[in-house]
Amino acid sequence: MPKLLARILCCFLIVALYGCKESYKTEQFYAMGTFVSITVPEDDADVIVDARSKITALEAAVKVDTEKFNKNPRYKPRLAISELISRGKAYELITDGRFSIYSATVSKLYGFPEGAYRVPEQAEIDTALDNISRGTNVTMDLGAYAKGWIVDEAINEIKDAGVKTAMVNAGGDLFALGKRPDRDWRVAIQDPKNNRDYISIINLENMAVATSGDYERFFKAQDGRTIFHIFDATTGQNPEYYHSVSVIASTTEEADGLSTAFFLINPAEVRAKCKKLNTPVLLYTVNGNIMKLCGWEKFEKK
Partner 1 sequence: MKKSKFDILIIAVLTAASLFFMLDVQSGEKRLYLIDKNTKEEIKLEDRDISLDNGHVIIQVTSEGARFLESDCPNRICIKQGWVKNCGDTAVCVPKHLALVMECKEQDYDAISQ
Provide the binding-site residues for partner 1, judged by CB under 8 A: 37, 39, 167, 169, 171-174, 176, 180, 185-190, 195-196, 198, 201, 209-211, 213, 216, 246, 301
Query: CB–CB of 262/245 below 8 Å?
Result: yes
Least Å distance between CB 172 and partner 1? 4
In DSSP terms, 34 is beta-bridged to 31
Tell me the Cα Rg of the chain.
Answer: 22
Q: Closest CB to partner 1 among 94 and 167?
A: 167
Q: Closest CB to partner 1 among 26 and 136?
A: 26
Least Å distance between CB 196 and partner 1? 8
Q: Closest CB to partner 1 among 77 and 213?
A: 213
Query: CB-based contacts of 36: which residues, under 8 Å, 6+ apart?
Result: 28, 29, 30, 55, 168, 169, 170, 171
Least Å distance between CB 111 and partner 1? 23
Query: CB–CB of 280/295 below 8 Å?
Result: yes
Q: Closest CB to partner 1 among 139 and 244?
A: 244
DSSP string, 202-228: EEESSEEEEEEETTSSEEE-TTS-EEE
CA–centroid distance for 161 within its chain: 24
Three-state DSSP class for residue 274? helix
Least Å distance between CB 174 and partner 1? 6
Three-state DSSP class for residue 163? coil
Least Å distance between CB 181 and partner 1? 12
Q: Closest CB to partner 1 among 8 and 188?
A: 188
CA–centroid distance for 99 within its chain: 16
Query: Before 57, cis peptide (omega within 30)?
Result: no
Least Å distance between CB 190 and partner 1? 4
Least Å distance between CB 55 and partner 1? 16
Q: Closest CB to partner 1 among 52 and 243?
A: 243
φ/ψ region of 126 (left if φ > 0, alpha if ψ in -120 to 50, else beta) reads alpha
3-state secondary structure 36-95: EEEEEEHHHCCHHHHHHHHHHHHHHHHHHHHHHHHHCCCCCCCHHHHHHHHHHHHHHHHC
Q: Closest CB to partner 1 among 67 and 197?
A: 197
